[in-house]
Amino acid sequence: MFGKYKPMWGEKTQLKSSYDAVIIGGGLHSLATAYYLAKEHGITDVAIIEKNYIGFGGAGRNTAIVRANQRTQYNVPLYKEALDLWPVLTKELDYNLMFNNCGNLNLMHSEAAMKAARMTICTAQYHGVESHLIDAKEAKELVPALNISEDITFPIHGAMFHPPGGIVRHDAVVWGLARGASKYGVEIHQQTEATAINTRNGKVVSVETDRGTINTSKVLISAGGYSASLINKMMGIRLPVSVLTIQAMVTQPLKPLLNHVVSSGAYHCYANQTLKGEIATGAHMDQWPNYTTQTTAHYIKHQAEALSEFLPCLRGVRFMRIWGGLADMTPDMAPIMDGNDQVEGFFFNCGWGYFGFKSCSAAGKHMAEFMANGEAPNILKPFNLKRYEEHKLMGETAALVTYTPDN
Amino acid sequence: MMTRFNQLPTLRIDPTKKVIFNYKGKSCAGSEGDTVATALYANGVRVFARSLKYHRPRGLYSLDGECSNTCMEVDGIPNVRTENTLAKQGMEVKEQNVKGSAENDMMAFIDKLDWMMPAGFYYRTMHKPASMWPVAMKQIRKAAGLGVMSPDHVTPGKFDEIFPRTDVVVIGGGPAGMQAALAAADKGVRVIIMESRPWLGGFFDYRAAEYSKGKPLYSRARELAEKVEAHPGIRVLKHTSMVGAYSNNLVTGFQIGGEGDSFTERYVEIRANAVVVAVGCIERPLIFDNNERPGVMQVACAHRLARTYGILAGEKALFSVGHDLGLEAAIDLYDLGMKIACVADIREDGQNPELLLELAKRNIPVLKGWVVTKAHGSKQVKKATIATIDGTITRDFNCNVIVASAGFTPITGPLTLAGAKLRYDSHTNFFIPETLPEKTHIAGRMTGLEDSMAIEASGTLAGIKAAMDSLACTCCGSESASEGDSEGDSKEKSSSSSCCEACDDAALKAAEEALKALPGPSRGTKLVTAPVKGRKSFICFDEDTTIKNIKQAIEMGFDVPELIKRFTSAGTGPGQGGIPGHNLPLFVAKYEALSGVPAPVRPTTVRPPLVPTLIATYAGTNHIMMKRTPMDEMQRSDGGIFRKIGVWERARYFSDDFECKAEIENVRNNVGMLDGSTLGKFRIHGPDALKALQRVYTSDMSKIKPGRVKYSAMCNDDGCVIDDGVVIKIAENDYYFTTSTGRAGQTVEWVRYHTRYDGWDFNMVNLTDSMGVINLSGPNARKVLQKITDEDVSNEAFPFSAYKEFMVKDTIPVKAMRLGFVGELSYEFHVPSSYMVSLWNMLKEAGKEFGIKNFGVEAQNVLRMEKCHIILGQESEQRTNLLDLGLGFLWDRKKTDAKTVGAVALAQAEKDQTRFRLVGFKMENNGRAPKDGSLIVDDKVRGYICTARDSFSLNEAVGMALVESHMAKIGTRLEIFEDECGDQRIYGKVVPMPFYDPDGSRMKS
Ligand SMILES: Cc1cc2nc3c(=O)[nH]c(=O)nc-3n(C[C@H](O)[C@H](O)[C@H](O)COP(=O)(O)OP(=O)(O)OC[C@H]3O[C@@H](n4cnc5c(N)ncnc54)[C@H](O)[C@@H]3O)c2cc1C
């Protein structure tokens, strides 16, 4: 059945001195962009430059929650497309991305939250995305482990139920896209650090790496949490991005217990069960910018306190490991996808915070289109950088974001 | 049931005391001190569990919980490591992840199907055709996981937490750790020692070998333990596993309560000045065919089973080891009555000659340069094949136990969590720290030492260093002193001598010399796998990962241990990587070296908790903490229905009618009383107070008139409204202001932040908790107020928008404002919290004849909505600016010098025609109010409903909405999209605001 195994993303090759396009960072968005550049636009002479190994960043650290029930009409279509792409990509890549469309249950703990949820639900329904407001009892029917009594810090009033969402196997997406892209000829260079982008007459001419210079006329920085600092360092463009460490953790594996992704804003906590049976849980971010990816004692405790309240049976379950990654947050919790503007041939894609997994396929697809045609496709236009200069935030979050003192 | 030793001096069980528990519905007897697994072993249980993927039989392997082999369900809690969980009277113990029983598992056939499941097979199968995936997924979910957790399980027991502060924390209560604790405590610093076992002693505890002439190691261990426990400077936390280490020497762990303890488990978080890590080693698993068959166990497992628990693991054992401790165990177990088929030693030479002599005396054959290659027997070991290291010669031995261990490897988790970078050391074959974090020291076996004296000496040295780290110098101000943690009186004590404890390095030097004189780190064995193909040789037990799987992963391009771990899952199971931890990187390095690309040997990342920890334990006492206003109790007794809002609990309703008809009508017709104490309340004063106000508020604050209330707003840099409230000038350079409830916590920082470069001189005081607020509203409000004060409160003397300070009953100082949030004649009284109850009662009493009643937050919400007064967060969102809300009049465009936060953005937004705008609307055809949060649409989304209600006061449905500005014209028809509306729409029409009392005569008269 299985013969000799071949390297999934090609044999290690020498770095060439020139490529049609260079992509900095080996995360989800880079890999997806490269895949679609090759597949849809015939641009196969592409190098992905990755400092560590693919999946080192957020791509390998996220909790892989996917959904398309965002708040605004700019976001919903993009995320809907991404959500619809999981089965398509599974087939195209011939790699099991293990999409578990178990649905997301977003708990609401006050009348005000119910109203906020209704707006989000209306937006989804208006765009043909399934999402419903349900009461606490109905939520309990979906998730029998929920505590819907009054004697917890934030009693549950109801929930937003979004059946088409769920979880995907994040590593599979990284490896599947890498394999898919490399089949078309894309080269993935791991253990290679990009150090500078050279321009001439307002045009990109080459990329410097610790393994040599690469001539190219098109470069994309899409390096997750590292993007903003790279963009600043290499291109002198300052972005309104705060990079914060965000943590997640898993428990020991259990037989099926949670059949939906459950999340709560008030408790700063979400939980879902992976196919391996672990309860993956996270949500809280450091409140001060840092690149440490260090975990903290208070956070794992916070998470235990929160879960103890709204999913009390989990008190008898053990945490197995906690880890940290980076979240690059913009003031309006929406990404920045822009380029070919300040400098010809320079593109960037960042600000995905803690929600850049679910979007990677669609974002990559349209970034590829952007890079191939030189002009932003309509769906990406609202995500330009200019919106901040114009003081027109996107409204993806209802409340004011307070993760930095200077937002 | 087998006979157990009941006289050994090393025993940690009390054979005279029985513990009876239930195992699979049958009662099972152990001795006090038994773990569940040792009791079961004594009762003849050999197969404890089935493995995750292949359902292979699994047995007792290490006794230290490094794999999930003995995980069971105990008292409804799944995945309990029974090998280090003490058996208790009446426990309910069940097997998990088996169909049938662990002994006879119907799923066992899967073991033969391994060829279908190479590394990462699930990524490449089951998705074709697409319709198969949901079916397959169900099966995967069922097959995965180990234990079952019931959704209504209630975890029994009491959980607690402690947060001790100490000078030195010693992790590990073995000989090195105990010596470190003693040495540090003798220097006069406070010490905490953590030990995961229920006793101190480490690897001396069970060994009968000589420590010194006539003194066995176990005696030495007990002697040290006694000293440690008796030392007044040492706090001993036994049965406490260290699970995390964080910046600045914060160490976390959890303690299991024993008899007489007030807790079942408790979370322990220790802030220390210095840390000594002396956690020793574990045995590096030897990898060979069927290396996890029940009957295969590590050296210390077999040895401790006998010495600590009084159980001989089997009648006849074959030893395959790479270390002198293996030889020592063979001798000791032989003397205790075990037959030894032979001892295969990986090492060609270098054995301790005395041990060889003892083995020879007992006629135990020793084969040097040999290793076990296969365990035979389907559920339990029956036979072993051994071979020369190169695999050329083989021999078979009958036996029912294989004691196997490739060597030792240090427990590096605590070090890496603390921030140490590890490097591979080829002499010891250990990963040792390249650099140690500040004020962290290591000692004992984990440094490669083997000699008992050296191990202790290294502990003493580390203890002295750690103590010096945390002592403050009292004589010369020397560098080694850390800031300010010495005991107060030590200053006087040593001021006369030339040296203080902190600088006295004589002891340090002596300890260094002592250690140097003793044998250093010994050579470690390098072998990872016996000469086998590896199809059934397991590198990770929990995830059923074989050597073959690892090779497959490498071929597929996963060339870094970290990636191989992810791809094959090796090390991601409940054993927290205990089994594959160091073998994986060692194996990968070796295997890759074969292909000519030698890579640095680096272990995979270790993450907290090092020991799986109950969520209940992390949660600890977990008390709910909410703020309550001074009026909390009174409102509750008046029937208030409370809601948690931010950090507060507030009365939202005063009856079951959540539309609040009675409350609303009473305010409109009589008079109502609301507790507004959660409002943010601040005083800002000082010469530059006004400048600070000008910076953060959009209005011109220099224009505040004495005795008047100024309503204004604060914006962020985008011009978006973050706060609104009133400001009062109470004296020259002295202001009192309010913020919305939600902003109270951030306000001081906000003002400070936005004035940080100016060097202005002003002070701020947050009075939110020390002042309470009562809102008195309704046409009868004046009559009520008049009854409790002599102050002239007539409309002339105290008009709308005025501010007054007066005393009630000569005692209660009141700051009173005439406001009109709910659209009626209304007063807001700000009084010190301690007077709130009195004032509240007075008003209630005075208001009786005027029909005074409580009203809650929801009634207020409707009342103010009818008046079109906004609540931030309700009529605004993150992107809503001052102009969008129609509050442009609050922005003074002339005070450019003030550099008001948000002014630049507002100036820009003023020209922008594409923003949102707050509008009032009524429903067409007298229709019902739309639900809050519904959308305004046409061919796309144009806005949404902020608040809308069927108004009792107006007898029609009204509301406010944020819509695109081109739709803000009076008369515009609004198409409203509600959730679940399908094709149905309802319609409203933009109307002028406010709806209620448009000219404000009620609120102003
Ligand atoms: C704990 C956690 C939980 C999350 N949960 C979710 C979730 O449930 N759902 C969701 O949608 N999103 C989630 N996210 C967010 C998501 O993971 C990220 O938004 C996304 O992975 C970032 O995009 P990326 O994969 O393209 O970048 P990354 O994977 O972060 O890739 C960046 C890469 O760039 C490389 N790099 C950096 N500098 C250089 C250089 N100079 N040269 C070359 N390469 C360089 C890095 O090594 C890294 O591999 C989560 C994130 C975290 C941290």
Query: pLDDT tens across B494-507, in order?
Result: 444 456 777 778 89
Residue B718, φ and ψ in degrees, nearest 5: -90, 5
SS3 string, B676-743, reads CCCCEEEEEECCCHHHHHHHHECCCHHHCCCCECEEEEEECCCCEEEEEEEEEEEECCEEEEEECHHH
CB A330 within 8 A of CB B167: no
Q: Domain range holding A375? A: 21-61+171-240+333-389
Task: Name the residue among B220, B271, B269, B265 with its Cα closest to residue B239.
Answer: B265
Integer CA distances (angstroms), A400 to A332, B637, B715, B722, B934, in order? 9, 35, 11, 7, 21
Same domain, A274 and A298: yes
Residue A139: inside a domain, yes or no? yes
Give nearest CA residue, ligand 1 atom 5. A62
Nearest CA in chain B to A118: B933
B806 DSSP β-pair partners: B814
Atom of ligand 1 lying closest to residue A209 CA: 42
Residue A394: which residues within 8 A CB-CB, separation 6 or more? A72, A74, A75, A332, A333, A334, A382, A383, A387, B879
Same domain, A261 and A305: yes
Residue A8: inside a domain, yes or no? no
Mean pLDDT along residues A145-168:
96
B947 DSSP β-pair partners: B960
Residue A407: inside a domain, yes or no? no
Residue A97: inside a domain, yes or no? no
Q: With residue A47 as reference, give the H or E element that holds it.
A: strand A46-49
Mean pLDDT along residues B432-442:
95
Domain of A373, CATH number, reads 3.50.50.60
Task: Name the residue among B922, B754, B771, B924 with its Cα closest to residue B839.
Answer: B771
pLDDT, one tens digit per residue, over A261-303 is 999 999 999 999 999 999 999 988 888 899 999 999 999 999 9
pLDDT, one tens digit per residue, over B636-653 is 999 999 998 888 999 999
Same domain, A187 and A215: yes
Three-class secondary structure of residue B245 per DSSP: strand
What is the pLDDT, as a whole number, of residue A5? Answer: 86
Determine what percent of chain A falls in helix, strand and coil, rounding each to the nearest 5: 30, 25, 45
A299 close to ligand 1 (CB < 6 Angstrom): no
Q: Please judge whether B127 and A90 are an interchain contact, meaning their C-beta atoms are less than 8 angstroms apart.
A: yes
Place of tokens 């935030």: A393
- Pairing label, strands A46-49, A21-24: parallel
User: Tokens standing for A16?
Assistant: 């060439």
CB B777 within 8 A of CB B824: yes
Three-class secondary structure of residue B805 per DSSP: strand
User: Tokens standing for B145?
Assistant: 């996981």
Residue B510, φ and ψ in degrees, nearest 5: -60, -45
Cα separation, B992 vs B834, in Å, equals 43
DSSP 8-state secondary structure symbol assigned to residue A163: T
Tell how far CA A47 is from the center of its chain. 22
As for how many domains chain A has, the answer is 2
Residue A12: inside a domain, yes or no? no
As a whole number of Å, the CA-based R_g of chain A is 21
Task: Name the residue among B442, B519, B403, B453 with its Cα closest to residue B281.
Answer: B442
Of the partner residues A55, A95, A313, the one whose CB lies closest to the CB of residue B123:
A95
Domain of A129, CATH number, reads 3.30.9.10
Cα separation, B514 vs B510, in Å, equals 6
Q: Please judge whether A303 and B618 are an interchain contact, meaning their C-beta atoms are less than 8 angstroms apart.
A: yes
What is the pLDDT, as a whole number, of residue B493? Answer: 41
pLDDT, one tens digit per residue, over A93-151 is 999 999 999 999 999 999 889 999 999 999 999 999 999 999 999 999 999 999 999 98
Average pLDDT, chain B: 94
**Side chain identity at B395, as an amino acid letter?**
R
Would you place residue B477 in the very low, low, confident or very high pLDDT band (cuts 50, 70, 90)?
Answer: low
Q: Please count the other Cβ atoms lying within 10 Å of the Cβ belonging to residue A378.
A: 9
Q: What is the residue-wise DSSP string for B46-70?
A: ---EE-TTT--EE----SS-SSSTT
Mean pLDDT along residues B38-53:
95
Q: Please judge whether A390 and B908 are an interchain contact, meaning their C-beta atoms are less than 8 angstroms apart.
A: yes
Mean pLDDT along residues B442-457:
97
Same domain, A151 and A257: yes
Atom of ligand 1 lying closest to residue A65 CA: 8
Lowest mean pLDDT among A401-405, B165-169, B202-206, B267-271: A401-405
How far apart are the CA of B264 and the centre of ligand 1, in A? 40
Q: With residue B513 as reference, give the H or E element that holds it.
A: helix B506-517
pLDDT, one tens digit per residue, over B622-636 is 888 899 999 999 999
- Pairing label, strands B941-951, B812-819: unpaired
With beta carbons under 8 A apart, name residues in chain A contacting B981.
125
Would you place residue B490 in the very low, low, confident or very high pLDDT band (cuts 50, 70, 90)?
Answer: very low
Cα separation, B722 vs B772, in Å, equals 23
What is the pLDDT, as a whole number, of residue A396? Answer: 87
Residue A291: inside a domain, yes or no? yes
Would you place residue A1 in the very low, low, confident or very high pLDDT band (cuts 50, 70, 90)?
Answer: very low
pLDDT, one tens digit per residue, over B199-227 is 999 999 999 999 999 999 999 999 999 99
**What burial class does residue B718 get, using C-beta atoms within 10 Å of its C-beta: 0-12 exposed, 13-18 middle, 19+ buried?**
buried
Same domain, A236 and A248: no
Checking if the pLDDT of A407 tops 50, the result is: no
- Domain finish residue from A277, A296, A329: A329
CB B293 within 8 A of CB B383: no
Q: Please judge whether B76 and A323 are an interchain contact, meaning their C-beta atoms are less than 8 angstroms apart.
A: no
Cα separation, B231 vs B225, in Å, equals 10
How far apart are the CA of A229 and the centre of ligand 1, in A? 14
Checking if the pLDDT of B517 tops 60, the result is: yes
What is the pLDDT, as a whole number, of residue A302? Answer: 94
Task: Name the residue among A258, A355, A354, A248 with its Cα closest to residue A310.
Answer: A258
Tell how far CA B280 is from the center of its chain. 26
High-pLDDT (> 90) share of chain B, %: 88
Same domain, A186 and A53: yes
Would you place residue B492 in the very low, low, confident or very high pLDDT band (cuts 50, 70, 90)?
Answer: very low
Cα separation, B486 vs B476, in Å, equals 15
pLDDT, one tens digit per residue, over B916-958 is 999 999 999 999 999 999 999 999 999 999 999 999 999 999 9
Cα separation, B754 vs B742, in Å, equals 19
Would you place residue A401 in the very low, low, confident or very high pLDDT band (cuts 50, 70, 90)?
Answer: low
What is the pLDDT, as a whole number, of residue B594? Answer: 80
DSSP 8-state secondary structure symbol assigned to residue B890: G
pLDDT, one tens digit per residue, over B581-598 is 999 999 999 888 887 767
What is the pLDDT, as a whole number, of residue B2? Answer: 67
- Domain finish residue from A313, A329, A345: A329
Q: Please judge whether A122 and B626 are an interchain contact, meaning their C-beta atoms are less than 8 angstroms apart.
A: no
User: Tokens standing for B525?
Assistant: 């064995």
Residue A292, φ and ψ in degrees, nearest 5: -70, -30
DSSP 8-state secondary structure symbol assigned to residue A106: E
Task: Name the residue among B282, B304, B403 with its Cα closest to residue B34.
Answer: B304
Atom of ligand 1 lying closest to residue A194 CA: 42
Mean pLDDT along residues B797-819:
96
Nearest CA in chain B to A101: B134
Same domain, A144 and A254: yes
Residue B465, φ and ψ in degrees, nearest 5: -60, -45
Same domain, A305 and A339: no
Checking if the pLDDT of A83 tops 50, the result is: yes
What is the pLDDT, as a whole number, of residue B696? Answer: 98
What is the pLDDT, as a whole number, of residue B286? Answer: 97
What is the pLDDT, as a whole number, of residue B491? Answer: 42
Q: Please count the other Cβ atoms lying within 10 Å of the Cβ belonging to residue B911.
A: 6
**Side chain identity at B718, as an amino acid letter?**
D
Q: Per the omega criterion (within 30 degrees of 0), is the bond before B630 cis?
A: no
Q: Please judge whether B912 and A390 are an interchain contact, meaning their C-beta atoms are less than 8 angstroms apart.
A: yes
User: Tokens standing for A25?
Assistant: 């960072």
Task: Name the residue among B667, B990, B612 with its Cα closest to residue B858.
Answer: B667
User: Tokens standing for B132?
Assistant: 């198969």
Mean pLDDT along residues B449-472:
95
What is the pLDDT, as a whole number, of residue B479? Answer: 53
Edge-first strand order for the sheet with B370-376 is B370-376, B383-388, B394-398
**Side chain identity at A305, as an amino acid letter?**
E
CB A222 within 8 A of CB A33: yes
pLDDT, one tens digit per residue, over B748-766 is 999 999 999 999 999 999 9
Same domain, A321 and A267: yes
CB A230 within 8 A of CB A194: yes
- Tell which of B67, B96, B878, B980 to mutate to test the A interface (max A CBs under 10 Å): B878
With beta carbons under 8 A apart, name residues in chain A contacting B574.
252-253, 318, 320
DSSP 8-state secondary structure symbol assigned to residue B292: T
Cα separation, A57 vs A326, in Å, equals 8
B235 DSSP β-pair partners: B192
Same domain, A384 and A246: no
Mean pLDDT along residues B906-910:
95
Same domain, A158 and A246: yes
pLDDT, one tens digit per residue, over A335-389 is 999 999 989 999 999 999 999 999 999 999 999 999 999 999 999 999 999 999 9
Cα separation, B973 vs B926, in Å, equals 14
Place of tokens 């002070």: B763
Same domain, A317 and A266: yes
Q: Per the omega criterion (within 30 degrees of 0), is the bond before A312 cis?
A: no
**Side chain identity at A331, as an amino acid letter?**
P
Residue A200: inside a domain, yes or no? yes
What is the pLDDT, as a whole number, of residue B125? Answer: 87
Checking if the pLDDT of B173 tops 70, the result is: yes
Residue A360: inside a domain, yes or no? yes
Checking if the pLDDT of A205 tops 60, the result is: yes
